[in-house]
Chains A and B, each alone.
Chain A
C-alpha cells in the first residue's frame, strides 16, 4: 500500500517494547522485521505464500506457512499482546471467526485495510466501473480481496460486536488525515480490543 511507510511507523509507535506479536498474513515480513529491530518485539508470522517464507527466513523471522484460518487455532489463549492484520483483513473469508480468534489469543488487534469508500473509488462507481485505485489496484477478475469495506463499515462492525476502538488512523497520499476519513482516506488503521 502506498501509505505503507507511514502506517508501519504508526504501528511501531503503538506497540510496547518487547511486545509479543502475531502478524496474520505477514507477507515478506517487512513489518515484523521493523517491529523486531525497533521494538525488540517477539514476532511470529503466518503466511500462505511459499515464496514469501524464504524471504522471511532470510530476515531471521519465524513464520508458519499456512492459511490464517488454519494456523491461528494453534496458539493458546492470551499469548500475544497484539495480533496484526495488515492489509489482509479484506482477504479473510470468515471475518467473525478470525476476529474472535484474535481476541482469544491476543489483547489487541491492529487492523489496516484499504477504504472502499475513498473518493476516487466512489467516482469509479459513479461512472459505472468497479473501483481500481492505488490501494485497490486489482481488476474485478484478479482481486485477492473478498471484502469491500469502508471505514464506516468497520466502525459499525466494531460497534455491533462491542469491540472497543482504542485508536484509529487515516491516511491519504502518504499523509495522515483527520477530516472526513470515510471520504478522503485511502487506508485506515484501527487498534481494537474486546
Chain B
C-alpha cells in the first residue's frame, strides 16, 4: 500500500435519502447509497468525475479496503497518475440502485415493515439509478460533473446521464455499451433469470434467512461469463485443456473451461444477491435511449468519447457506433474508437493501456478548458 500509484486505503461511505420516485410511479423511502470517493474536490468543484459500475460491480472502484489483498474493480484506471488521475480529479463511484453492495436493493430492509424487500422491491430502471446518483452528486455539492464514465451497464448509465441531466455533465465516456438492449441481450438475461427462478430455493424471492438459490444464480453467472469472453480468449485461456489427464467418462467437469465456470459461479453466489440479479437485468432490458429519445438541446454541449472493442459480442461495436451516428445528427463533439482486442466484453477491464491513453488526454483537455481552479 506504499505504492505511489495506488490511492491506498479507502472506505465505503453511506448516505440516506428520504425518498426516490421511480419511473414506474412507485416510491422508495429511506434510500441508502453506498459510495466511495478518491482525490480531492477543488475549490470551484469543477474536477468531479462519476464512475458508473457494470452489472455486478460495486462502489469500491479503486484503492484497498482495510486489510484487503485485492484492490477495487477499476484500480488500474483510477489513482495517482492513472487515466482517472486522482492527483487532479475527484472521483466518485456508487453502488447502483437495486444492487446488493450497500445501496438499497431487494435484499435491504423495507423501512415500512422491517422485513427484507424481496419481491416487494419495486421495479427499477437505469434512469432510476441515475436519478439516485444525481441525488448523491447534489449531496456532495457538485453542480456539474467534469465527466461520467463507465463500461457495459455503466455505459448505459453514462448515456442516461446525457439524456436525463445533459446540463449537469461536461463530458461522457460510454464504453462497451449500447443505446438499447437488443433481443439477443434480452434473451441472455431472460435465460439467466429463468435459471434463478427455476431453483426451488428461490422460493418466489423469499429466501432471506434461508438458502440463496445458489444453483440457479451460479448457472446465470456461468452463462454471463461466457458472454464476457470471446471464442479467441477462451481458446487462449483454456483451449481443450483437461483438469486431469484423462476423460472421466462422468458428468464431473473434465475440461479447464468447465472448472473455471463452476469456480466463477461458486464465488459469485457468495457476493451477489439473486433478487438483485433479477431486478438489475430487467432494468437493463428496459433500457432504450436510442433515436429521438437521445438528442436533447443540451446534449450539444457534451463532449463524448465512445469506446468499443472489436471482439465484444455481447455489446457489439456496431451498438457503440450507433451512439456516434446518433450524435452526428447534432452538433455534438464526439470521438468513437473501436479498439482491436481479443478479450471480448471483458476487454474494457483489461485493455488498460489503450483506454488510459485515450481517457487521460480527453480529460486533461477538458479540464484545461474548465480551468483547474
Binding site for B on A (CB under 8 A): 42, 50, 53-54, 56-58, 60-66, 74-76
Pair A63/B335 contact, Cβ less than 8 Å:
yes
B68 at the A interface (CB under 8 A) = no
The contact sample of 15 A-B pairs, CB cut-off 8 A, is A42-B331, A53-B335, A53-B337, A54-B357, A54-B358, A57-B335, A57-B357, A57-B358, A60-B361, A64-B328, A64-B334, A64-B335, A66-B336, A74-B325, A74-B329
B324 at the A interface (CB under 8 A) = yes
Alpha-carbon gap, A105 to B20, bound state (A):
45
Please name all residues of chain A whose beta carbon is closer than 8 Å to the beta carbon of B338 when the two chains form the complex.
50, 65
Please name all residues of chain A whose beta carbon is closer than 8 Å to the beta carbon of B337 when the two chains form the complex.
50, 53-54, 57, 63, 65
B362 at the A interface (CB under 8 A) = yes
Please name all residues of chain B whose beta carbon is closer than 8 Å to the beta carbon of A60 when the two chains form the complex.
361, 365
Smallest CB-CB separation from B320: which chain A residue? Answer: A65
Number of A-B residue pairs at CB separation under 8 A: 50
Number of interface residues of B (CB under 8 A): 22
B128 at the A interface (CB under 8 A) = no
Alpha-carbon gap, A42 to B335, bound state (A):
14
- From 229 to 245 in chain B, residues with beta carbon under 8 angstroms from any chain A beta carbon are none
- Give, as a whole number of angstroms, the nearest-CB distance from A59 to chain B: 8
- From 279 to 322 in chain B, residues with beta carbon under 8 angstroms from any chain A beta carbon are 303, 305, 321
- Give, as a whole number of angstroms, the nearest-CB distance from A27 to chain B: 15
Please name all residues of chain B whose beta carbon is closer than 8 Å to the beta carbon of A54 when the two chains form the complex.
337, 354, 357-358
B333 at the A interface (CB under 8 A) = yes
B10 at the A interface (CB under 8 A) = no
- From 331 to 368 in chain B, residues with beta carbon under 8 angstroms from any chain A beta carbon are 331, 333-340, 354, 357-358, 361-362, 365
Alpha-carbon gap, A192 to B325, bound state (A):
26
Query: Given the known A-B contacts A56-B335, A74-B328, A76-B329, are A66 and B357 also in contact in the complex, defined by CB atoms under 8 Å?
Result: no
Pair B340/A62 contact, Cβ less than 8 Å:
no
Alpha-carbon gap, A130 to B75, bound state (A):
55
- Give, as a whole number of angstroms, the nearest-CB distance from A36 to chain B: 11
Alpha-carbon gap, A76 to B328, bound state (A):
8
- Give, as a whole number of angstroms, the nearest-CB distance from A105 to chain B: 10
Alpha-carbon gap, A74 to B361, bound state (A):
26
Alpha-carbon gap, A63 to B324, bound state (A):
10
Please name all residues of chain A whose beta carbon is closer than 8 Å to the beta carbon of B339 when the two chains form the complex.
50
Alpha-carbon gap, A58 to B360, bound state (A):
9
Q: Say whether chain B's binding surface is mostly helix, strand, loop, or mixed.
A: mixed
Please name all residues of chain B whose beta carbon is closer than 8 Å to the beta carbon of A56 when the two chains form the complex.
335
Alpha-carbon gap, A63 to B333, bound state (A):
9
Pair A65/B336 contact, Cβ less than 8 Å:
yes
Please name all residues of chain A whose beta carbon is closer than 8 Å to the beta carbon of B305 when the two chains form the complex.
57
Alpha-carbon gap, A75 to B327, bound state (A):
9
Please name all residues of chain B whose beta carbon is closer than 8 Å to the beta carbon of A53 when the two chains form the complex.
335, 337, 358
Please name all residues of chain A whose beta carbon is closer than 8 Å to the beta carbon of B340 when the two chains form the complex.
50
- Give, as a whole number of angstroms, the nearest-CB distance from B162 to chain A: 16
* Neighbour of A62 across the interface among B333, B354, B361, CB < 8 A: B333
- Give, as a whole number of angstroms, the nearest-CB distance from B356 to chain A: 10
Smallest CB-CB separation from B335: which chain A residue? Answer: A62
Please name all residues of chain A whose beta carbon is closer than 8 Å to the beta carbon of B324 when the two chains form the complex.
64, 74
Please name all residues of chain A whose beta carbon is closer than 8 Å to the beta carbon of B365 when the two chains form the complex.
60
| 4 nearest CB pairs, A to B | A74-B328, A60-B365, A74-B325, A65-B337
- Give, as a whole number of angstroms, the nearest-CB distance from B252 to chain A: 43
Alpha-carbon gap, A126 to B329, bound state (A):
50
Please name all residues of chain B whose beta carbon is closer than 8 Å to the beta carbon of A76 when the two chains form the complex.
328-329
Given contacts A53-B335, A53-B358, A76-B329, 13 further A-B contacts (CB under 8 A): A50-B338, A56-B335, A57-B305, A57-B335, A57-B337, A57-B361, A58-B361, A60-B365, A64-B324, A64-B334, A74-B325, A74-B328, A75-B329
Alpha-carbon gap, A42 to B336, bound state (A):
17
- Give, as a whole number of angstroms, the nearest-CB distance from A19 to chain B: 14
Please name all residues of chain B whose beta carbon is closer than 8 Å to the beta carbon of A57 when the two chains form the complex.
305, 335, 337, 357-358, 361-362
- A-facing mask of B249-271, CB < 8 A → 1, else 0? 00000000000000000000000
Please name all residues of chain B whose beta carbon is closer than 8 Å to the beta carbon of A62 when the two chains form the complex.
303, 333-335
Alpha-carbon gap, A60 to B335, bound state (A):
10
Alpha-carbon gap, A42 to B334, bound state (A):
12
Alpha-carbon gap, A56 to B321, bound state (A):
18
Please name all residues of chain B whose beta carbon is closer than 8 Å to the beta carbon of A50 when the two chains form the complex.
337-340
Please name all residues of chain A whose beta carbon is closer than 8 Å to the beta carbon of B329 when the two chains form the complex.
74-76
Alpha-carbon gap, A66 to B335, bound state (A):
11
Smallest CB-CB separation from B366: which chain A residue? Answer: A60
- Give, as a whole number of angstroms, the nearest-CB distance from B213 to chain A: 43
Alpha-carbon gap, A62 to B302, bound state (A):
12
- Give, as a whole number of angstroms, the nearest-CB distance from A151 to chain B: 33
Please name all residues of chain A whose beta carbon is closer than 8 Å to the beta carbon of B333 when the two chains form the complex.
62
Pair B321/A66 contact, Cβ less than 8 Å:
yes
